Every structure is written in C-alpha cells, then in structure tokens.
A and B are shown apart, each in its own frame.
Chain A
C-alpha cells in the first residue's frame, strides 16, 4: 500500500476495495500481534532446517554462518518452530515490547 491503512480516506479506496498492487500483503506487519518469540540456542542447533521448513509465515531465514533466526516483522510467535525442533534448540520467550 502506498501509505499505512489507517491513513486512507473513504474516497481513496478502489471501487469494491480491490487491491491492484499485487503482493502488497508483505508490507503488513503480521508480527505486530506477537506475545512470544523464538530464541535459538546455536550450541544445540544441528542446522537441520526443520524450523525454516515448518514456519507457516516463512518468517525464518538462514544466517551467514548456517544457523537460523526469525524475522520479527512477520513472526507471530506461534511456536511451531520450537515444537518441531528435535534437538530443542528453540525456546519460546515472552516478547516484551
């Protein structure tokens, strides 16, 4: 979107609220409603990539040294990565903001 949602006036919306900028959902900060966030312990991490594979929001990415971390702009703190992490390298902690 050209500007934040709350700044749109009624007459600035497309007819029928059509979105004519494909892919603009990526601008939406889904991580805004998070209460928990994943924290990686790289000493336990075996770099299997299961967290990356299971993340429903594709919010986990690989770092330069081959470990994993999450993009907190999108991460909703669902905890699926921690649940799927076999070595138990991911811990969900309260995200105080």
Chain B
C-alpha cells in the first residue's frame, strides 16, 4: 500500500527500515527534514540508534567515520556548503573503506548564497571514492537507501555510498511511496558484519601513515574496489527486483530504442525531460532519455551500449563548468565516446542552476535546436550552452 509522504520523511523512514545504528548530522537546508525526522524517531524510541549532535558537517562525517570503524551501521546527510565542509572526511571514509551511507540533498554552492537545487555540490565531490546513486522520485530514494547499505557493506565492496536527492524539487515534494515491511528489509539487509573493527579484543590500526612505498598500492586497491563494485551494485539491484518487484538499472533509458537523439541527465530533471519527450512524440518526433542511476563507479559499458548508435547527444548539467572546457558529465561522456571511436555530435547544456525551473518546453527547444542562450554572447570560445540566461 502506498503512503503519501514528503520525500525527506520517506528517506528517514528508509534509514529506520535499514536499522541505522549511529546517525550524526548537522542541519542544512534542504536536507534538514531528513535528519530532523530521524532525530524524532530516535527520541521517540522508534529507532534504536545513537544520535550524535555535532557542531559541523566535518564533525558529522568524522563521527560516522569513527562509528563505522567501530562496526556500526551509520547515516548522515548534507547539502551544498555542508558537503563541502565534510569534503576532507569524504576521502578519509572511502580510503578507510567504511560503508557509511549518506544522502546528499543537492543544492547550489555559494556564492551567491542559494539554498536551491542544483548539482554543484555533488560534482565537487564526485571523485572522492564514494559510490554514487541518483534518484528521480521518492520511491527511488527509499529503495536506493535500503540498497545502499547492502551494496556498501558487501565484503567485496566495503565502500561508502551517497544517495543523491535533488533539493526541493524532490526532497520537499509529497509523493505516494510504497514502503517494504521491516521483515522484508531485514531479510534483504542482514546486520552489518565489519571485516575489521576497532575493538580491544582484537586491536587494529586504521588510518595509519602510508609511506611512498605503499601509497600507490593502497590507492590502486581502492580504485579496483570501486570499479569492481559495479557488478555488486547490479547484483543488489537484481536481488531487490526479485524481492520487491521494482527493477533498477545502472543506466536508465526512456524511449531510446528508436530515437536517434537522446538527452543525458542526472536526477529528478528526468521527469521534465520525459514530459518533453511525450510532447515531441505527439509531433511525430523521436527523442530519448538516458539517466545515470549509478554515477560512481561510472557505468561506461552500459552507457556505450545505449549511446553508440545515436546521432545526437544532448548532455544536460545542473552545474557550472567553472572554467572547464565543458560540464563534468559531458567531459566524461565525450572521453568515453572518443575512447570507443565514436564521433557522435554532442551538445552540452548548462541549466537549472540554483533552483531555476527548467520546463519541458526548454527540452523541446533543445531538441529543435532553437534553445535560447543570451543574445549577446560574451565569448565565442565556449563549448557549452548556458540555457535560460536573460540578456
């Protein structure tokens, strides 16, 4: 039975179903509702967990790091400046191979100060060695969080997992969501059995100094682990589909089979692109959508399978390139196509920054090649289109 619930609350309920044991977080818009509701669950005795109030996001991730090192199932959540503040610890947690799970409720970075949604925050953290999942709707948030623990805690993986949820446009909407029962989740997600943990009965050192003789080997081992984790992500998605009936794929496609033109997108903006695709269908035009559910490790083989025969690829990104040649997602897909000898026409659209709504009409314009940019182009030297800017 589906329940109408705010997606942030649904995320908290998913963490409750996953039986998180230590939660440490610092409130920041737009992720606040998640940890606020979790603190209520803990205070009311509905979730048997330790809730650690901290003075900053850096400390929140540090507390999760320590708790995970002691063998606890942990959770935290952040957004924008908060994620930036815990940036250092993101690397520590992935390097220590601790399966911390967090939601990043994606928000624009200052300045100018903005509390609204875009992907600047996660893009700054994309290469921290975390497994990263993106969600389009509330059901996906709940399911992804439950799967995140199963993926991260797998002995073949042992890596932290970040579940990305678009700020406001996803986090604050009320959606009908189906929650699995506690028994079903318990069968799917057994208690965390750490490989190593900080315990006086078996003393170990974590986070020791890595001399030049060992650092490269350590990083190679970590890189191998995250690349190989793709197979386990797939395995967990399959098991989830068998048990709960909802199938997820590393790369999600919509109407791509017979379309020569595809959009590539991350997160909830996909719903608007789908609406645009349906409108285009009415005009007899074919467009498809490719969404990366798994962003790290980068599902390159699955992407090549979908993109190899396309004639035109429009990569949409909710993050400004910051002086780079293109947005990060475009850059990676361009590399992928080049390495595979594919020279499809690619376009990069920067849009939806800082909570700017992007309506289906914009994607129809992109399809038709009439998407408006600023009329007075300040520089001819850029490779991307910055959509929806007045002037």
Contact = CB atoms under 8 A, between A and B. Distances in A.
Contacts, number: 53
B158 A15 contact: yes
Interface residues of B, number: 24
Contact of B213 (A5, A11, A14): A5
Interface residues of A, number: 15
A20 B196 contact: yes
Interface string B202-214: 1111101011011
**What's the dominant secondary structure at chain B's contact region?**
loop
B196 A15 contact: yes
B221 interface: yes
Contacts of A14: 196
Given A22-B203, A22-B204, A22-B205, A16 B196 contact: yes
A68 to B, nearest CB: 29
Contacts of B214: 5, 8, 13, 17
B221 A11 contact: yes
Given A10-B220, A13-B217, A19 B208 contact: yes
Contacts of A18: 196, 204-206
Contacts of A10: 216-218, 220-221, 224
Interface of A: 5-6, 8-11, 13-20, 22
28 contacts: A5-B211, A5-B213, A5-B214, A8-B217, A9-B217, A10-B216, A10-B218, A10-B221, A10-B224, A13-B217, A13-B218, A14-B196, A15-B97, A15-B195, A15-B196, A16-B97, A16-B158, A17-B95, A17-B96, A17-B210, A17-B221, A18-B204, A18-B205, A19-B205, A19-B208, A20-B202, A22-B203, A22-B205
